[in-house]
Amino acid sequence: MDAVQPRDESLADYHAARDAVGLVDRSDLGLVEITGRDRAKFLHALLTNDIAALGPGQGCAAALLDVHGKVQVTLIALAMDDRMLLLTPPGAGESTVAALDHYLFAEKVTLEDVSGRHALLMLIGPAADDTAKRLTGAVAPEAAWSHVTASLDGVDVRLVRGGGELDAREVWLLTPATERERVWKGAIGAGARPLGAAAVESLRIERGTPRFGADVDASVLLPEIPAERLISHTKGCYPGQEVVVRIRDRGHVNRHLRGLLLDGDLVPPPGAEVVADDAVVGQVTSATLSLGLGRPIALAFVRRQHAPGARVGVRTARGTLPATVSDLPLSR
């Protein structure tokens, strides 16, 4: 059984991220490298965001959908001078290459899963930029997922501006995997506090950030989740676009990913039913004890009739927990 971090330590981690700077190892993310002269055109035709508009040093979040508008994978695209990098959910590098390769015909494009060759560390909190500057002498650009090259004691580092997964201020450090320990120790020496899993999950769910494989999978329509940063409504066609546009312009989805603020101190398990008047109206996808709000919180798919502010219940083995439906994010 994994050791459970004492609550006092989790609170200290949480406040480091909120008030100073926290450090998280995200080297578990998959990484796909795309080269060839047609790389931007190829990705632009498949992904939901405007890849063609990215110049070197820019990036964006995006998704790959099927023809029914359902999410196959969520991605971060980083444009460089001679290649594109795609950050994928953990363990999804190989499957992402296979999914993209399905659409590859005559384009001059090479796809390679390079997961494990790079380390990816995240600085989060109001002191993230100052810490990155002390480490490298450089500052990440302000636009989400923009990036710049730098050096840390001779180690090549790419500073990437995060998109707000855990906090409004994030700087990601992308470096060769062989240098991971060196950069990690350098960040700690510069004042960053490593964050435990409890603090990370509290920050994520408070922000309302869906995790692929837990809150989002291939059964989910893109408009059912917060998708503003994943999509461009002015770019050309991509698989699933007709469904997304039809929902936007002439219809609606039957459920939305919402936040839940639960009464009491019990954290419901994933899969717990959300109920109203004894009818099942949704399902919890992930939940935790919020270290900032001091109460259990959850992400859940809830039928659209139950708007933010509605009172619902969450069924558990210990009874039905009262809860309030909330907009996302749940906290600042």
Nearest-angstrom CA–CA distance, 268 and 286: 8
0.75 exceeded by the pTM?
Answer: yes
Q: Are 123 and 130 in contact (CB under 8 A)?
A: no
Cα Rg, the chain, nearest whole Å:
20
Distance CA(273)–CA(236), nearest Å, equals 39
pLDDT of residue 1: 36
List the Cα angle 74/301/91 in 5-degree steps: 30
| pLDDT score for 8 | 86
Q: Is the pLDDT of residue 110 over 70?
A: yes
Question: 3-class SS at 271?
Answer: coil
Residue 5: predicted pLDDT: 64
The Cα–Cα gap between 134 and 127 comes to 11
What is d(CA 282, CA 287) in angstroms, rounded to the nearest whole number?
Answer: 14
How much is the pLDDT for 332? Answer: 60
Phi and psi at residue 330, to the nearest 5°: -80, -20
Residues 244-262, mean pLDDT to the nearest whole number: 94
Beta bridge partners of 7: none
Instruction: Give the model confidence (pLDDT) of 153-187 as tens digits.
Output: 899 999 999 999 998 899 999 999 999 999 999 99
Contact in structure between 8 and 89 (CB atoms under 8 Å): no
The dihedral of CA 233, 74, 205, 313: what is its sign? Answer: positive
Residue 222 has pLDDT above 80, yes or no: yes
Mean pLDDT, all residues of the chain: 95
Whether the predicted pLDDT of 40 surpasses 90: yes
Say if residues 97 and 84 touch (Cβ distance below 8 Å): no
> How far lies 270's CA from each of 84, 98, 283, 289, 330, in Å?
35, 29, 8, 13, 18
In this structure, how many other beta carbons lie within 10 angstroms of the beta carbon of residue 305? 10
Give per-residue burial for 179-198: e unless 16+ CB within 10 Å, then b.
bbebbbebbeebbbbebbeb
Q: Any idea which residue has 């500057």 for tokens?
A: 133
Q: Token match 């999914």: residue?
A: 99
| H helical segments located in 38-152 | 39-44, 93-101, 128-136
